[in-house]
């Protein structure tokens, strides 16, 4: 379970970084060269998602919960905006959904 969550967290970081770097170029006038590490980060994101042993649709659905939590951490650490209680409650609900999707008992076949 911890390995799955850690893999999701690393995946979220790769996706957020891959989207943040073009944002810096488009909205803040930073170098266009940021698109190169952004593309590499998004490729890493796709590869990391492929490492999960279950059906891809289930992985994408569950990953969303971790992504929401990671995005709020990014909001706080990078953007300097402290998440509200509502943000944290929403992230908690999303993470609960992730745990249900990933770890619910299933019959084989």
Q: How far apart, in whole angstroms, are the C-alpha atoms of residue 48 and residue 56?
A: 12
The domain in which residue 22 lies consists of: 2-103
In a domain, 39, yes or no: yes
Number of domains observed in the structure of the chain: 1
* Inside any domain, residue 109: no
Residue 63: pLDDT over 80 = yes
> What pTM did the predictor assign?
0.80
In a domain, 108, yes or no: no
Q: Is residue 12 part of a domain?
A: yes
Judged against a pLDDT cut of 60, whether residue 23 lies above it is answered with yes
Give the number of other Cβ atoms within 10 Å of residue 1's Cβ.
Answer: 8
Could you tell me the pLDDT band of residue 99, with boundaries at 50, 70 and 90? confident
In SS3 terms, 36-103 reads as HHHHHHHHHHHHHHCCCCCCHHHHHHHHHHHHHHHHHHHHHHCCCCCCCHHHHHHHHHHHHHHHHHHH
Report the pLDDT value the prediction gives residue 108, as an integer from 0 to 100: 65
State the chain's mean pLDDT as an integer: 89
Residue 56 lies in a domain: yes
């Amino acid at each position: 379970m911890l390995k799955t969550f850690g893999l999701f967290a690393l995946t979220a970081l790769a996706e957020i970084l891959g989207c943040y770097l073009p944002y810096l170029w488009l909205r803040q006038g930073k170098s266009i060269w940021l698109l190169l590490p952004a593309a590499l980060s998004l490729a890493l994101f796709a590869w990391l998602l492929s490492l999960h042993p279950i059906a891809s649709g289930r992985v994408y659905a569950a990953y969303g919960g971790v992504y929401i939590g990671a995005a709020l951490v990014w909001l706080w650490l990078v953007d300097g905006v402290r998440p509200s209680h509502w943000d944290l409650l929403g992230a908690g609900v999303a993470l609960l959904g992730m745990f249900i999707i990933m770890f619910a008992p299933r019959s084989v076949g």
